[in-house]
Every structure is written in structure tokens, then in C-alpha cells.
Structure 1
Amino acid sequence: MIAVDQILRLPLLPLLVAQGMAVRRRAMILPEPDGLREGRQGRGRLLRVLIAGDSSAAGVGVSDQSVGLSGQLAAHLSPHFDLIWRLEATTGHQTRDTLARLAALPKQHFDVVVLALGVNDVTHGTSRRAFFDQQSELIHLLSTRFAPGLILACGVPQMQLFPALPQPLAWVLGRQSARLDGILAGLDQDHDHVAHIPFQLPQDPDLAAEDGYHPSARAYALWAGVLAEKIRDRYHSSR
């Protein structure tokens, strides 16, 4: 069944195109932060973690990787594990781009893979079918190349809540982000080692970066805390 927002896209198309162009013109372009993209820290049971995805995985919205997703996740985990971590993320990446990037890495082992993808698939009009196929291929690649015991598929953010997006563009993108997030939730059910982590943060202006589009340091801390709890539940500390 075709959803209401999909039906209304055609009559709304001129407005949506105009709003999209306006958002791009006035968008504050934030760089990927400086800082480490791999490291080893902590004591305890050895745990290898790969973080991969788009600009949110890359920490856009903060000034240094230490307060981005990877740095905050490492800070949460290092008191409990001998942690080896690596970040493979780039602004603008869709699922297909991350597939190509990770396929180029040498075969190695990671206990946990954290994926943050979906926003660029939404804005580039990736269909549910294509998103399902690409995410399924990504899970297969990760499983065969890195043999993780746990893949954390972070939910597609609720784009209707992004301060930088005007209505009705925010509503249309929000509906599509919810559909793609439903694909991730379904993959959770199909694979025992995949866990879908809904992207659910409080509606608080302080959780958005200055561009109104990316997470702030506080949002990254909350997000990393949720992920760390899931990881600790699966891999109990030896300390």
C-alpha cells in the first residue's frame, strides 16, 4: 500500500525541491573532527570494535573525535575491556559506499561492529528494496570478512525532528527514514548476531550541533552509552 507522504510527493514536488535547495544553500558545512581514528586503551578482556558509517559515525558536529561517537564509545568501554577500536566513516556515505569501503579492508577479526547509516540513503532516494538488499549484503560482508559476534545497526534518525529541515520537507524525509529504519529492525529479526538500536534521543535543542543536523557532544555521549550497554551485555568484562 502506498503511504500518504508518497502520494503527496508529486503535488508537493516543486515545494520540496525548493526547500531542499534552500537547505543546501544555507547549510552550515561542518568538517569531520580531528583526532584519533583507531587506538588501544583499557584493561581486561580483549575486545575489538569497528565503527563504520556516515558523518554521524565520523563525529561531525564536534571539534574532536574524542567527543564524537567513536571516542565516547571508547571512553565507555575502556574501563571494562582491553579495547582495540577502529573508525571507518566518511561524510555523505550511503550504505553502498560503506560496503565498498569495508570490502577494501584486509580480512581481520572484530568482536563488535557498530553501523551508523541511513540518512544519506534517505536524502538520495534509496528505495526500501535497494536499502534491504544493500544492508543484507553489508551484513553478509561483515559476517564473512570480520566474523563479529555482534553487529549493532543504529537506527535511522527521525529526520522530521532535525532543526535544520523545514516543513513539509522534514515530514516527507521523516516518513522515509522511518521506513528504512523498519528495514533495519527486520534484519535484526533475521540474524541472531544483529541488533537494531533505535535512534531515540530526548527532544532537546542541546542535542543538536550548531548546524541543526548532526549530533552534539552530549548527544554522542548518550548514544555511545546505549551502545556500550549493549556491548557489555554481550561481552562481560573479565575485571
Structure 2
Amino acid sequence: MAFLRLFVLVLLAPVLVVQAVRVRRATPRLPGAAGPAKGAVGAGHPLRIAVLGESTVDGVGAPTHAEALTGQLAGLLAEAGREVRWQAVGRTGATARNVLHELVPRLQPADVLVVVLGVNDTLALHSAARFRRELLEVVVAARRRLGDVPVMLAGVPPLGSFPALPRPLQDVLGARASALDRAVRALDRLPAVTYTPFAEDLLSPELFAVDGFHPGPAGYREWARVLAEGLPAVTVRRHSGDPPHPFDQVV
């Protein structure tokens, strides 16, 4: 089966290269979100949250970080009656290896970590085994820096449903994204690590930015809602003998 997939990929290679070049030329290059990449919202007992990853953490598709994924996530968590101090540590185009070496050292103290990766590793056609290994290295390095904090791993978005991509490029990248998403899910077995899948509802065309590739502010809010609903599950996976964690009181 693997040989058949490789054979088909080789046959499609010329078409895929042409489509990739056309998509790159035709797709608007949107900047990262403007404004501070950290802040605070709400009132009450403070919770520090860090979001680490690629262009969606950099806020591409939103005017400001407050309207992008991290700011919207912080706002939703603050509705539980907390002061949420947030930091967005992202870079457009970053793979898991880039994040490990360039972005993890920029993390500031946090009580919980959300990792959003996979799209650029998909575009680079990295194998699932490589991505799983490098994502694990990101989690381990981040915990060395932050301490034994709960970690949420966001599912890899299904590129096969992105409006900006034509077929068969859409099919090839969709299959690769699914493989990398399974690699993320495999790390869910680690203590205090939770995987939250990318919801199908987030693929509505009106939730995308004008590039058809990144979320717009409405898309970021809906994605933040999915992550916020899954965050309490992170602490449930902690060892029973562990001391209480500040995030345990969020809900």
C-alpha cells in the first residue's frame, strides 16, 4: 500500500509542483497580527497561559493578537472569573524543529501551555514519525523551561478542506495532514498532555481570512472556543498524587 501511494505521488509530482507554484503566487501574503503578543484580560485569581506554534499563533488573518487565537482564548477563559495573563509565541512558517530551537527559549513563565503545530510540517511533507519525535522534543523542552505544566496539543487542521488549495494538491496535503494529526494524538498518552482535535465546524468558508488558508477573527474565536472547552481535561490527566495546579480552578 505504501509503495502504491509513493507510485501515485511520483506520477502526480509534475502537476503538484505546478499547482503549488500557482497557489503560492495567487494566495495573498497576510502579515502576522499587530500589537502586543502578550497581555492580560479579566479579573480574579491570575492564570498564565502560553500558546506556542506557527502562523496561527503569530495571528495571521487577524488585525491584532487580541482578535487572534491566543487573545480570543484568553478572553474566553477570563469569562470563568479569572485574570488571564497570555503570551503568543509564534512564527509564520515555523515547523516543529523551528519552534524547538527558536521559540521555546522565548517562553515566559506560564501555568498551562497550548501547542499549535503541523501545517508547515505538512507543507514540507515531513513524515509522521519525524513530526511526532520533534513535537515530543518541543513538549519536553517547554516543560524543562516552564516546569511540569499541563500541555494541550491542538489537532492539525485538515488541509484537504482549505479553500485556497486545488485538487489533487488538496488531496495529497490532506492525507499528509491526517497522518501528522494521528501523530499528535499519539502523544495524548503522556501525563498531563491532552490532544484536542480540529473541529469540522471550523471549516466554514466564512471563518477563513481572505487568503483562504488562515482563520479570520471569527474563525479564531470559534477555534479558541474549542480549545477552551478542552483545557480543563488537561488537568484531569495529571497523576493522582500531584499537588493541585493553578489551572484546576479555571472552571
Give the TM-score, by structure 2 length: 0.88
Summarize the Cα distance change of 1:105–1:59 in structure 2 as closer, same or farther, 3 Å threshold.
Answer: closer
Unaligned segments of structure 2, at least 5 residues: 236-246
Unaligned segments of structure 1, at least 5 residues: none
Summarize the Cα distance change of 1:141–1:13 in structure 2 as closer, same or farther, 3 Å threshold.
Answer: same
1:5 Cα offset (Å): 4.1
1:238 Cα offset (Å): 6.9
Specify the alignment match of 1:47 in structure 2.
Answer: 47
Specify the alignment match of 1:17 in structure 2.
Answer: 17
How do residues 179-198 of structure 1 correspond to structure 2 at under 5 angstroms?
Answer: 179-189=179-189, 191-198=190-197
RMSD after superposition: 1.9
Query: What is the number of equivalent residue pairs in this alignment?
Result: 237
Summarize the Cα distance change of 1:102–1:25 in structure 2 as closer, same or farther, 3 Å threshold.
Answer: closer
Specify the alignment match of 1:199 in structure 2.
Answer: 198
How do residues 63-82 of structure 1 correspond to structure 2 at under 5 angstroms?
Answer: 63-79=63-79, 80-82=81-83
Summarize the Cα distance change of 1:217–1:103 in structure 2 as closer, same or farther, 3 Å threshold.
Answer: closer
Indicate if the aligned counterparts of 2:35 and 2:64 stay in contact, CA closer than 8 A: yes
1:149 Cα offset (Å): 2.9
Summarize the Cα distance change of 1:78–1:91 in structure 2 as closer, same or farther, 3 Å threshold.
Answer: same
Specify the alignment match of 2:114 in structure 1.
Answer: 114
Indicate if the aligned counterparts of 1:38 and 1:87 stay in contact, CA closer than 8 A: yes
How do residues 91-170 of structure 1 correspond to structure 2 at under 5 angstroms?
Answer: 91-105=92-106, 109-170=109-170
- Residue type of the alignment partner of 2:84: L
Specify the alignment match of 1:224 in structure 2.
Answer: 224
SS at match of 2:115: strand
Indicate if the aligned counterparts of 1:58 and 1:89 stay in contact, CA closer than 8 A: yes
Summarize the Cα distance change of 1:238–1:33 in structure 2 as closer, same or farther, 3 Å threshold.
Answer: closer
Specify the alignment match of 2:60 in structure 1.
Answer: 60
1:208 Cα offset (Å): 1.1
Q: Structure 2 CA distance, aligned partners of 1:75 and 1:148?
A: 24
Query: Deviation digits for residues 7-52 of structure 1, max 9, x if unmatched?
Result: 3100000001111111111111001121221112322232111111
1:71 Cα offset (Å): 1.2
- Identity across the alignment (%): 34
Higher helix share: 2
Give the TM-score, by structure 1 length: 0.92
SS at match of 1:57: helix
